[in-house]
Amino acid sequence: MSFLDWATGLHGYLFVGTILATLGIIAVVYRRNSIGVLLGIELLLNAASINFIAFSKFRTAAIDGQIFALFIIIIAAAEAAVALAIILRLYRLRETIDAGEANLMRN
């Protein structure tokens, strides 16, 4: 099997999805800026929808995978809006968007 067939088949989709998920998790734990954490979450959700789409194409020939991906995209949008509202609120209260500084609940 040539590289092109490998990359454009199910393997390629799964490979890209896995890398995106890995990078997303790394961003979530590694970024200090809370907007950076949000970017990581978006990568994770995208990786999930890639997998849904890939399996719906290569495995079942049914539409359900696409519906799930659609729901994931909608939920990601809602989550981004709320998260950014929280970040703006945090900035207004603490003058910073460093995720490590949001520790009012600790004491």
Partner 1 sequence: MSETAKIILVLFQLLTLASALLVTFSPNILYASISLLFAFLGVAIMFLYAGADFLAGVQVVVYIGGVTILVLFAIMLTSWMYQVKLRDSRGKLIVPLLLALFGLLPFLYQGAQHLASRVLRTVPPDFQTFAYSPKTNAVGEALLGNYLLPFEGITVLLLGALVGAVWLARPK
Strand intervals (E) in 1-107 = none
Q: Which of 56, 107 has the CB closer to partner 1? A: 56
Looking at the Cβ atoms of 66 and 102, the one nearer to partner 1 is 66
Whether residue 85 contacts residue 34, with contact meaning beta carbons closer than 8 Å, is answered with no
Pick left, alpha or beta for residue 70 (phi over 0 → left; psi -120 to 50 → alpha; otherwise beta): alpha
Nearer to partner 1, 92 or 106 (CB): 92
66: amino acid identity, one letter: Q
State the minimum distance, in angstroms, from the CB of residue 13 to partner 1.
7
Nearest distance from C-beta of residue 105 to partner 1, angstroms:
17
